[in-house]
Structure 1
Amino acid sequence: MIRDELRQRVLAQLGEQGFTLEGCRLGLGSDEKARLRACHEKACRHQIERARGGLARHETRLLAHIANGAEIEPARIAPRLVEVQSETTGELLFRYARLHWSVPVSAGYGRRLRFLVWDDGHDRLMGILGLADPVFALGSRDAWVGWNREQRRMRLANVMDAFVLGAVPPYAQLLGGKLVALAAACNEVRAAFERRYAEKTTLIGGRQTGPLALITTTSALGRSSLYNRLAFGGRHIFQSVGFTRGSGDFPFMNGVYRDLRRLVAEESAATAKHAQWGTGFRNRREVVLKALGLLGLPRDLIYHGIAREVFVVPLAENAAAFLRGECDDLQDCDLPFATLAEYWKTRWALPRAQRDERYKIFERESWRLWAKT
C-alpha cells in the first residue's frame, strides 16, 4: 500500500509540473522558455522551503548586500572576484542568491569552488559562480576532447563544471551575466583551483590532479543567449559542442525524493563501485532509477526531454591535447579578471545603461523569499 501511495504521488507531482506521459517517457508539449521555467517552479519552491531553516533568519541582513537599481551609477561599477570561504557571510550570500534562479540549483558535488562577483564601487553583490566536479560521461564534451575512456579516467580531474553562473539584479539588467561568464575563464579561477586541488592526489586514480584545463556548463533553458557569441580578444570563450539527451533527476526534486531515497535504501543494495566512493549510492540519478523500478514505473521517466546546450570553456590553447594525455604542460590563456571586467563594462554595461534604464526600477525588497518575522 505504501508503494502504491508513493507511486501515485510521483505521478501527481510530475503532472503538477506540466509533464505528461508519452509512452514510457515524459513529455512537456513545448520548449518555450516560459513553459520550461514553469516546469522547474515546483522544484525551486521546494528548494527554497528546504533552505528556510538555515537562511530565513539572515534574509534581511543578506538583502542589504543586494543593490537597489536607483542607487547604481554605471560609471562607478568596479567588479572584483571574491572566492567564497566556508562559514562566512559570503557563503550565506552565495547560498541565498542561488535560490533565486529560475531552475533548481544544486550545491555542487565533490570538489567545489565558489565565487562572488562584487561591485566595489557600490559595495554590492553582482553575481555568483560555482564550480564542482563534472559528470563522468557527457557525450558532447567527450567528443570535443576526443579522449577514450582511459584518458578520461586519468584526466577528468582537470575538468570542472559550472553548476551555477549568473548575475543578480539590477546588474543582470546591465548584462552582468556576461561578466560572470567571462570570469569563469579568468586567471584567478585557475589560480584558486591550483591552490585548492592541483597538488592533491585523486582518490580513485591515485595521481596528483595538476592544473585546471577545462570548464563545462549547460544552458539552463534550452539554447543559450548568454554564452553564444561571448568573445574576447578575437576568440569565443564559450564553445557550443552540442546538446544533452534531455535526462535528469530534477523532476523528482519536488518533495518526493526523500521518500524515494528511503525506499531505495530499505530495499536495494548500494551501488558505489569503489571503496573510496563510500558505501551508499553513486548519485541521485541512480536513486531515482532504482526507485522507479521498485514502484513499477518505467525507468525511462528519467528522460524529461528538456535538452540543454553544452558548452566548453578551454583554459589553455592546448586544453584538448592535454586532456587526452598527449602533453603534460598547458599553454594557459592569459585572462586577468580586471581586464575582462573593464572590457565588459565598456562593451556591454555602459551602452546598455544608456539605452535601457529599466535597471533603475529594481528594489531589493522584491527579492525577499520569506515573510519578515
Structure 2
Amino acid sequence: MSIKQSKIIQTNFREASLKRKLRKHLRSIGFTKSKDGNLQAPGDSKETIRFVHSAQREERILASEKFIACKSERLMKFFASGKDIDVEKISPVLERVYSDTWQGDLFRLASLTWSVPVSSGFGRRLRYLVWDEHNGKLMGLIAIGDPVFNLGVRDKFIGWESQARSARLVNLMDAYVLGAIPPYNSLLGGKLIACLLRSREIYDDFEKVYGNKTGLISKEDKSARLLAITTTSSMGRSSVYNRLKLDGIEYLKPVGYTGGWGHFHIPDWLFIELRDYLRTIDHRYADQYLFGQGPNWRLRTTRAALSSLGFKNDMLLHGIKREVFICQLANNATKILQTGKGQPDLTSLLCAKDIAESALDR
C-alpha cells in the first residue's frame, strides 16, 4: 500500500470516528433531527437550556479541578451567606480586575458557579468584581469585551448598514459576563448589577484603556468612545434584564432575539478534535487564530470542520434563541453610532454609588 493510500484510509477512518462522536454527543444532550433533517433542540425552557449546557459546564469544572483545589480555601471567605447581608445597607462598588491577581482568581472561581458556562471574552476586555462594601463580600461579576460583527437585531435597532457598522463598531462592547452570585441573586441583585453597566466608572475606564488605540485588524488609529454595550440573556427571554429603569432612565433596552446560531453545543474536547482534523487536511483555519481576529473565529473554524466532514452548515443552527439588550451610555448614542458625528451626551450617566442608591430605593 502506498503512503498516499495509507493517508487516505487514515483520514477516512478519522472522519467516520469524528462523525460518530459528534452525533453521540448531540444525542446525549437531547438534540434530535427534525423531519427536514435539521438539528432540533430538546426545548426552550430554562431547565432544558441548563441541561443542554450541562456537559459544557461539567467540562469546565473538571478542567478547573486543580485551580479550585488550590484557590478555593483562600477565596471562599469572600462569598456571602444569608446572615452576612443587611438589605438596607447593601453598598455596591466596582473593582477592576487585572490578570495574574487574586482578584482575577476570584473572578474565575465565581464564574464557575454560572449554570451556563461563560466565555473568556475576545479582544478588548474589561472585567469587574462587584463588592458589597458594607460586609466585604462579593455580589457579582461584570465583564465586557469585543462584540460579534454580525448581530441583526442590534444593527437594525442602531440603523447600521455594513459600511457604518465597520467604521463604528469600535464604539460598542458586549457584556459577556453580567450577574449576581448567591445569595444576592435572590434579592434582585442581578438587576442592580446589570444597571451598573451604565456607570461612569466603566465609561471612564474604557476611555483610559482603549480611547486612543490602534485597531488590531484595521491598523488604524481609533478614537473610540464607549457609547453602548450589548448583552444577551442565556435563558431565552430574560426576567432580569427586562424593564430596567431607574428615575426615568432606561438602563437596558430589549431589541429582539438572536437567530439561534452558535457553537456552545460543540464542547471544547470535540472542538480540539475538529481542529486536529483540519490540520490533517491542511485547512487554513486549523491554526489561523490570532489575538484580534474576533469572537467569530471559533464559529468559522467549527463550520469549516463540519463542512469538510460533510455535515450541513445548519449543524450550527441549534435553535436556542437569546434575548438581546442594549445599554446606551450616552443619551445620543444611537445617533452618533448611525452618523459618526457629535459628542456623547453624558448628562444622565451616573457613578456606581448613585445608581446603587436609586436601585436600592426602588
Q: TM-score, normalised by structure 1?
A: 0.88
Give the match for residue 159 of structure 2: 146
The answer to whether the Cα contact below 8 Å between 1:261 and 1:291 also exists between their aligned partners in 2 is: yes
CA displacement 1:195-247 (0-9 Å, x = unmatched): 11001121333032321001001111110101110101213211111111001
- Residue aligned with 2:177, SS: strand
Give the match for residue 99 of structure 1: 112
Task: Report deviation, 1:275.
Answer: 11
Task: Report deviation, 1:346.
Answer: 2.4
The answer to whether the Cα contact below 8 Å between 1:204 and 1:276 also exists between their aligned partners in 2 is: no
The answer to whether the Cα contact below 8 Å between 2:147 and 2:173 also exists between their aligned partners in 1 is: yes
CA displacement 1:16-70 (0-9 Å, x = unmatched): 1111122343212321111111111111111112222334310121211101112
| 1:244-283 paired onto structure 2 within 5 Å | 244-253=258-267, 255-270=269-284, 283=297
Q: Between Structure 1 and Structure 2, how many residues are aligned?
A: 346
CA displacement 1:140-160 (0-9 Å, x = unmatched): 000011122111111111100
Task: Report deviation, 1:269.
Answer: 3.1
Give the match for residue 370 of structure 1: none
- Residue aligned with 1:256, SS: helix
Give the match for residue 89 of structure 1: 102
CA distance in 1, matches of 2:271, 2:232: 23
- Residue aligned with 2:300, SS: helix
Task: Report deviation, 1:129.
Answer: 0.4
Give the match for residue 220 of structure 1: 234
CA distance in 1, matches of 2:71, 2:357: 33
Alpha carbons of 1:275 and 1:19: their partners in 2 closer, same or farther (altered >3 Å)? Answer: closer
| 1:162-241 paired onto structure 2 within 5 Å | 162-205=175-218, 206-241=220-255
- Residue aligned with 2:148, SS: coil
The answer to whether the Cα contact below 8 Å between 2:123 and 2:292 also exists between their aligned partners in 1 is: no
Give the match for residue 10 of structure 2: none
Pair 1:293-2:290 in alignment: no
CA distance in 1, matches of 2:293, 2:155: 28
| 1:292-371 paired onto structure 2 within 5 Å | 292-332=306-346, 333-347=348-362
Give the match for residue 243 of structure 1: 257
CA distance in 2, matches of 1:144, 1:268: 41
Greater shift in the superposed pair: 131-140 or 292-301: 292-301
CA distance in 2, matches of 1:286, 1:151: 23
The answer to whether the Cα contact below 8 Å between 2:198 and 2:329 also exists between their aligned partners in 1 is: yes
- Residue aligned with 1:248, SS: coil
Give the match for residue 3 of structure 1: 15
Give the match for residue 368 of structure 1: none
CA distance in 2, matches of 1:294, 1:53: 36
Pair 1:160-2:170 in alignment: no
Task: Report deviation, 1:164.
Answer: 0.9
Alpha carbons of 1:240 and 1:169: their partners in 2 closer, same or farther (altered >3 Å)? Answer: same
Alpha carbons of 1:278 and 1:124: their partners in 2 closer, same or farther (altered >3 Å)? Answer: closer
CA displacement 1:233-264 (0-9 Å, x = unmatched): 21321111111100100000253111112112
CA distance in 2, matches of 1:254, 1:277: 19
CA distance in 2, matches of 1:69, 1:237: 28
Q: Which amino acid aligns with 1:310?
A: V
CA distance in 1, matches of 2:289, 2:185: 44
Q: TM-score, normalised by structure 2?
A: 0.90
CA distance in 1, matches of 2:313, 2:289: 27
Alpha carbons of 1:55 and 1:157: their partners in 2 closer, same or farther (altered >3 Å)? Answer: farther
Give the match for residue 5 of structure 2: none
The answer to whether the Cα contact below 8 Å between 2:148 and 2:295 also exists between their aligned partners in 1 is: no
Greater shift in the superposed pair: 209-218 or 18-27: 18-27
CA distance in 2, matches of 1:315, 1:241: 16
Give the match for residue 350 of structure 1: none
Q: Which amino acid aligns with 2:44?
A: D
Alpha carbons of 1:277 and 1:177: their partners in 2 closer, same or farther (altered >3 Å)? Answer: closer
CA distance in 2, matches of 1:265, 1:135: 26
Question: Structure 2: which 5+ residue stretches go unaligned?
Answer: 1-12
Pair 1:116-2:142 in alignment: no
Greater shift in the superposed pair: 174-183 or 251-260: 251-260
Pair 1:21-2:33 in alignment: yes
Q: Which amino acid aligns with 2:322?
A: R
- Residue aligned with 1:203, SS: coil
The answer to whether the Cα contact below 8 Å between 1:248 and 1:302 also exists between their aligned partners in 2 is: yes
